Amino acid sequence: MGVIDLDGLEVRLANRTVLNNLTGELQGQAIGLLGPNGAGKSTLINTLLGFHLPSKGKARVFGLDTHKDRAQIRGGIGYMPENDSFIGNMSGVRFVRYMAELAGLPPGVALERAHEALFYVGLGEVRYRKVNTYSLGMKQLVKLAQALAHGPRLLILDEPTNGLDPVARQRMIQLIKDIRKEGSIRLLISSHLLRDIDETCDEVLILKNGRIASLCNIEEERRSNRSFVELETVGATERFSVSIRGLGCECATFPGGRIKLVIPDNIEARDLYVIASEQGVQIRRMNQRRDSLEDIFLRAMDNDQGRTANGSL
């Protein structure tokens, strides 16, 4: 059983198909949800929270149907919405306590956990201030605190770094990493920023026009992709490139002794040095580059057919 199971999920809003035949099983500890504006990220999150009734298919969270068992699902989810969403004339601690009580914590425990959650996210010193006096970064953090206070099994973060300055963003990313490391919470993070997903997630679901453009384990994807290497050489470059083609590498030579090559999994960088040594070629510089999430994302966006070949679903 995955964290989130999508089984031919279709959601129509105002006679428009917003999510179209989504099928897949999300199992990662931290799942990134990527896609351009209007791809259906927020609709998918709202469907998982039980706000939208699927017109076809099903979505399940921890094996529970998002429509029939929505109360049970919501009890186990911490949700941090994208936009400002709080009760401004309440103090931070009262707001977080209120949300924790709504999630099912007894009043005394909710108060204790509210204090803890606010200290955890770094708002301990300002917890008695009214939420509407908080800065944008503090408001993001208080939303995170309320999502964490009741100890959810799944934490849904919708654009958690939206509007944050670099320092606050780094702090938010670090908090997400810490939560992931703690291990008891699964994360679903929706973001426009590839870097945020790259730093925090191990699995990524890319949506495009309401369809799954790609669903992959980021690490596996990187490993399975071929490695791109750029060399700067001095000496008999042409002969050297012929020799490394003989190893099974694809390569292209450029003026100034520059060579770009793709090395298969069974070839190590050392093999290149051995051939270079044999042929009296100096390797002055070697840059090894693996696929970034950006490459995965752009490839998914280029694929007009929707799912990439990697979608194992």
- What are the residues binding other proteins (CB under 8 A)? 37, 41-43, 46, 49, 51-52, 71-72, 74-75, 77, 79, 81-89, 98-99, 101-106, 109, 113, 115-116, 119-120, 122, 124, 132, 143, 146, 148, 150-151, 158, 178-179, 182, 184-185
Distance of closest approach, residue 297 Cβ to other proteins, in angstroms: 18
Which CB sits closer to other proteins, 57 or 76?
76
Which CB sits closer to other proteins, 41 or 60?
41
Distance of closest approach, residue 51 Cβ to other proteins, in angstroms: 5
Residue 163 has phi, psi (to 5 degrees) of 75, 10
Q: Which two tokens stand for residue 185?
A: 């919470």
Which CB sits closer to other proteins, 120 or 297?
120
> How far apart are alpha carbons 290 and 96 in whole angstroms?
42
Distance of closest approach, residue 152 Cβ to other proteins, in angstroms: 9
Do the strands 211-217 and 203-208 form a parallel or antiparallel pair, or are they unpaired?
A: antiparallel
* Euclidean distance between the first and the last CA atom of the chain, given in angstroms as a whole number: 14
Which CB sits closer to other proteins, 211 or 299?
211
Distance of closest approach, residue 98 Cβ to other proteins, in angstroms: 6
Distance of closest approach, residue 103 Cβ to other proteins, in angstroms: 5
- The answer to whether residues 121 and 92 touch, using CB atoms and an 8 Å cutoff, is no
> How far apart are alpha carbons 247 and 268 in whole angstroms?
11
Residue 63 has phi, psi (to 5 degrees) of 80, 0
> How far apart are alpha carbons 72 and 52 in whole angstroms?
16
